[in-house]
Amino acid sequence: METDMDFTHDDILLPLAITVIIDRKVRSPEMQSFIVQAKGLFDLFELEQMDEAKIRSWFKSHTKDLETKLKGPRRNTLVLRALSRFKEERDVEAIYDAMVSISVSDKEYVVSESELIKSAGAIWGFPRPPIKVDR
């Protein structure tokens, strides 16, 4: 299925990175999930593959800016821009699934992370995912 848009590595990595960063704690399971999800999405969107070191480097180079923006008054604008880039059903399902996978990877419920997933679902017209994370 052809899409009307050409996506970049930044387009793919941004919503995933927001999912990792939004709870203000970057845990090893989240980082591993971020890398796995990114690699899968690069294949799906027919982008050149990045190795783990390059993905980690991208994350590290964008973290401080994203943390600042996520604490600021334009937080919702950042999230909306990152998510609204994807419009086709296949694309939004893939990004949404990746975000949900990252958010549950640390097996910890965090309100800000849950709100991000709910917002993404609302923007893209998905019901809340039927996922329970044991505390």
Binned average pLDDT, 10 residues per bin, the chain of 135 residues: 71 96 79 96 96 97 94 89 93 93 77 77 72 49
Is 64 inside any structural domain?
yes
Q: For residue 13, what are its two tokens?
A: 């990595």
Domain-located, residue 91: yes
* Size of the chain in residues: 135
- Is residue 49 in some structural domain? yes
| Residue 130 in domain | no
Kindly state the tokens that stand for 74.
């334009």
Rounded to two decimals, the pTM is 0.83
Residue 72 to residues 4, 48, 75, 115, Cα–Cα distance (Å) = 32, 33, 6, 16
Domain span at residue 102 reads: 9-124
